[in-house]
Amino acid sequence: MTPLQRLGEPEDIAKATLYLASDDSSVVTGTELVIDGGFTAH
Protein backbone atom coordinates (compact mmCIF):
# COMPACT_ATOMS: atom_id res chain seq x y z
CA MET A 1 0.00 0.00 0.00
CA THR A 2 0.96 3.62 -0.40
CA PRO A 3 1.32 6.07 2.49
CA LEU A 4 -2.07 7.57 1.54
CA GLN A 5 -3.66 4.11 1.87
CA ARG A 6 -5.22 4.08 -1.59
CA LEU A 7 -4.21 3.47 -5.16
CA GLY A 8 -4.18 6.32 -7.63
CA GLU A 9 -6.99 6.62 -10.11
CA PRO A 10 -6.96 8.01 -13.66
CA GLU A 11 -8.93 10.98 -12.28
CA ASP A 12 -5.90 11.92 -10.15
CA ILE A 13 -3.77 12.26 -13.30
CA ALA A 14 -6.56 14.15 -15.07
CA LYS A 15 -6.82 16.68 -12.23
CA ALA A 16 -3.07 17.31 -12.31
CA THR A 17 -3.19 17.74 -16.08
CA LEU A 18 -6.03 20.24 -15.80
CA TYR A 19 -4.07 22.17 -13.18
CA LEU A 20 -0.98 22.34 -15.38
CA ALA A 21 -3.08 23.45 -18.35
CA SER A 22 -4.83 26.15 -16.33
CA ASP A 23 -3.85 29.73 -15.55
CA ASP A 24 -3.36 28.64 -11.91
CA SER A 25 -0.05 27.07 -12.92
CA SER A 26 1.16 30.04 -14.96
CA VAL A 27 4.22 30.58 -12.75
CA VAL A 28 5.08 26.89 -12.29
CA THR A 29 8.36 26.14 -14.05
CA GLY A 30 10.95 23.38 -13.94
CA THR A 31 9.23 21.03 -11.54
CA GLU A 32 8.39 17.35 -11.49
CA LEU A 33 4.85 16.57 -10.41
CA VAL A 34 4.90 13.11 -8.81
CA ILE A 35 1.44 11.60 -8.52
CA ASP A 36 1.97 8.34 -6.68
CA GLY A 37 0.25 8.69 -3.31
CA GLY A 38 3.54 9.18 -1.48
CA PHE A 39 4.98 5.85 -2.62
CA THR A 40 8.20 7.35 -4.01
CA ALA A 41 10.67 8.62 -1.45
CA HIS A 42 12.43 11.83 -2.49
Task: Give the model confidence (pLDDT) of 1-42 as tens digits.
Answer: 678 888 889 999 999 999 999 999 999 998 888 888 888 876
The per-residue DSSP string of 1-42 comes to --TTSS---HHHHHHHHHHHHSGGGTT--S-----STT-S--
Is the CB of residue 3 less than 8 Å from the CB of residue 16?
no
Name the pTM for this structure.
0.72
User: What pLDDT, on the 0 to 100 scale, is given for residue 1?
Assistant: 66
Query: What are the sequence ranges of the domains in the chain?
Result: 1-37
